[in-house]
């Protein structure tokens, strides 16, 4: 389906640009989008290398096995074809947890790691399994507990209620996730998609793969655990707590809600890094060696996804520059306004699955023009916090493992996007309309 969609959008963009006299902007967009895709991929190199290095540390220390055990009952129900002790389970948990906390920088590397581990259980190379589709559907539905990035932007443009989007975001992203899971499970039973489903690898083979992988991941030799490390770790956390209290005290003049949000946004990622590094060190893992081994893999993956990013981002850029988005807005706005989605917020709803930077720009522009605490401001903020850039995610995750037959991934993710947008419109109208 993704192949047909790319062809249709590219040809439609050329036709629209010719009709509206936008051939030069279309030409400029092709060049700029291609360059931007490569720059984006290169920018991912550092993040991929570092966070996959941290992932390796966590695996070598046994942290991921403990983490997987906490959510094993739920994950086994959702992913029955994935062995409970597979590294894929732990990687998916870390990815989903990072997304829920608004840590997009960490979520992407963990998500790509999960896809790599899921691909080891795939008997048909290049074809998405049901587990891959469901994982991507959950990922793109963007279940959000702490949309720290959106809250920070609202505060920066003068919002008096920066955290006011928490409840709408929880509701909208929760609805999107429920629809994503339901759609992925139901569409997997559709006759066409059942015929193309890769047969699962035999349990004996999966266990053999898991043992091999575990052996490779635990390759770095461990240091002898010593009680001194435990005491030093406790001292580290105690001292860090003191510094956190000091930071909160010095910023006590800020409103409590804004203070909690800004502190969480600034501290959460460094604390995640500290947890993974310190846990590995206490458990006797040679942290530096593990970081380097994981980083090598991250570098290779970041380079491998460039062609997929170019294909998706150039196509999206062509559609935007051709006037396609403007045409759809003009056509749909009279209808959407009837159920509470104003024309000013409609471009944000259309762009969010296509372009993260484009949607962010539209959100910032809307909040500047109408105010962050206006009805439009709450609406676009909720869109940003409760949905994900679907086609970018598909390009990155599937590109990392060379998936070309995406099966029911696109309709599943788009249904989740639509559900998230409709839920956001409903809750924002109920609370702020």
> Hey, what long-range contacts does 158-164 have (CB within 8 A, 24 or more apart)?
158/372, 159/367, 159/372, 159/373, 159/377, 160/373, 161/257, 161/373, 162/257, 162/258, 162/261, 162/372, 163/257, 163/258, 163/260, 163/261, 164/373, 164/378
200: domain range? 2-432
Averaged pLDDT for residues 363-367: 80
Instruction: Give dist(CA 94, CA 111) in Å, integer.
Output: 8
- Of the listed ranges 69-73, 121-125, 376-380, the least confidently predicted one is 69-73
Confidence class for position 429, pLDDT limits 50, 70, 90: very high
Strand partners, 206: none
Determine the pLDDT at residue 225.
52
Q: Are the C-beta atoms of 127 and 398 separated by less than 8 Å?
A: no
Work out how many domains the chain is built from and give that number: 1
Task: Read off the pLDDT of residues 319-341 as tens digits, 9 standing for 90 and up.
Answer: 888 888 888 888 888 888 888 88
Encoding tokens for residue 382? 């909720």
Determine the pLDDT at residue 412.
94
Averaged pLDDT for residues 132-145: 85
Determine the pLDDT at residue 129.
93
Averaged pLDDT for residues 161-187: 89
Q: Which DSSP string corresponds to 261-286?
A: HHHHHHHHHHHHHHHHHHHHHHTTB-
At residue 258, does pLDDT exceed 70?
A: no
Determine the pLDDT at residue 102.
67
Average pLDDT, the chain: 80
Instruction: Give dist(CA 281, CA 237) in Å, integer.
Output: 14
Instruction: Give dist(CA 156, CA 304) in Å, integer.
Output: 36
Q: What angle do CA 401, 407, 412 make, to 5 degrees?
A: 105
- Of the listed ranges 111-125, 255-269, 359-373, the least confidently predicted one is 255-269
The CA R_g of the chain, rounded to the nearest whole Å, is 22
Report the share of the chain in percent with pLDDT over 70: 84
Report the share of the chain in percent with pLDDT over 90: 16
Confidence class for position 388, pLDDT limits 50, 70, 90: confident
Task: Read off the pLDDT of residues 273-309 as tens digits, 9 standing for 90 and up.
Answer: 888 888 888 888 888 888 887 777 667 776 777 787 7
Is residue 127 helix, strand or coil?
strand
Question: H-helix or E-strand containing 364?
Answer: helix 356-370
Encoding tokens for residue 100? 């829920």
Q: Are the C-beta atoms of 384 and 359 separated by less than 8 Å?
A: yes
Encoding tokens for residue 397? 């995750």
Determine the pLDDT at residue 64.
65
**Phi/psi of residue 200, nearest 5 degrees:** -70, 150
- Of the listed ranges 100-109, 156-165, 251-260, 364-373, the least confidently predicted one is 251-260
Top mean pLDDT of 73-77, 78-82, 254-258 is at: 78-82
Instruction: Give dist(CA 293, CA 296) in Å, integer.
Output: 5
Determine the pLDDT at residue 204.
46
Burial 362-388 (b: 16+ CB within 10 A, else e): bbbebbeebbbbbbbbbbbbbbbbbbb
**Residues 6 or more apart whose Cβ sits within 8 Å of residue 15:** none
Question: H-helix or E-strand containing 95?
Answer: helix 87-100
At residue 121, does pLDDT exceed 60?
A: yes
Confidence class for position 27, pLDDT limits 50, 70, 90: very high
Q: Is 243 exposed, middle or buried (0-12, 13-18, 19+ CB in 10 A)?
A: exposed
Task: Read off the pLDDT of residues 345-361 as tens digits, 9 standing for 90 and up.
Answer: 888 888 888 777 667 77
Top mean pLDDT of 28-32, 64-68, 145-149 is at: 28-32
Cα 50 versus chain centre, distance: 17
Instruction: Give dist(CA 373, CA 383) in Å, integer.
Output: 14
CB atoms within 10 A of CB 212: 11
**Phi/psi of residue 188, nearest 5 degrees:** -65, -20
Number of helices (H), then strands (E), in the chain: 21, 0
Q: Which DSSP string corresponds to 229-240?
A: HHHHHHHHHHHH
Q: Are the C-beta atoms of 402 and 126 separated by less than 8 Å?
A: yes
């Amino acid at each position: 389906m993704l192949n047909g969609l790319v062809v249709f959008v590219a040809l439609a963009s050329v036709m629209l640009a010719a009709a509206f006299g936008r051939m030069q902007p279309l030409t400029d967009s092709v060049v700029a989008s291609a360059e931007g895709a490569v720059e984006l991929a290169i920018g991912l190199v550092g993040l991929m290398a570092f966070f996959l290095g941290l992932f390796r540390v966590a695996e070598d220390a046994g942290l991921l096995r403990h983490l997987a055990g906490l959510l094993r009952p739920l994950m086994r129900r959702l992913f029955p074809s994935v062995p409970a002790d597979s590294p894929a389970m732990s990687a998916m948990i870390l990815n989903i947890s990072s997304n829920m906390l608004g840590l997009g920088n960490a979520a992407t590397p963990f998500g790509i790691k999960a896809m790599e581990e899921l691909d080891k259980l795939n008997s048909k190379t290049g074809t998405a399994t049901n587990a891959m589709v469901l994982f991507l559907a959950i990922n793109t539905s963007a279940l959000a507990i702490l949309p720290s990035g959106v809250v920070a932007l609202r505060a920066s443009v003068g919002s008096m209620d920066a955290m006011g989007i928490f409840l709408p975001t929880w509701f909208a992203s929760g609805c999107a996730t429920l629809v994503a899971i339901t759609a992925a499970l139901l569409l997997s039973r559709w006759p066409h998609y059942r015929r193309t489903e890769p047969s699962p690898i035999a349990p004996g083979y999966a266990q053999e793969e898991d043992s091999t992988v575990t052996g490779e991941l635990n390759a770095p030799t461990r240091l002898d655990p010593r009680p001194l490390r435990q005491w030093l770790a406790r001292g580290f956390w105690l001292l860090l707590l003191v510094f956190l209290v000091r930071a909160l005290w010095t910023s006590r003049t800020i409103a409590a809600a804004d203070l909690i949000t800004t502190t969480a946004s600034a501290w959460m990622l460094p604390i995640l890094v500290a947890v993974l590094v310190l846990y590995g060190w206490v458990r006797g893992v040679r942290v530096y060696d593990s970081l380097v081994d994981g980083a090598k893999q991250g570098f290779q993956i970041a380079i491998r996804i460039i062609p997929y990013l170019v294909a998706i981002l150039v196509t999206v850029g062509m559609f935007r520059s051709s006037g396609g988005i403007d045409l759809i807005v003009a056509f749909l706005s009279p209808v959407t306004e009837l159920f509470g989605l104003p024309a000013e917020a409609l471009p944000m709803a259309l762009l969010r699955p296509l372009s993260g930077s484009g949607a962010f720009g539209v959100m910032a522009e809307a909040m500047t023009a109408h105010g962050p605490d206006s009805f439009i401001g709450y609406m676009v903020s909720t869109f940003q916090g409760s949905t994900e850039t679907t086609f970018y995610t598909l390009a990155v995750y599937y590109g990392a493992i060379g998936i070309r037959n995406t099966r029911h991934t696109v309709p599943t993710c788009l249904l989740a996007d639509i559900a998230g947008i409709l839920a956001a419109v409903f809750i924002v109208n109920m609370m702020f309309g």
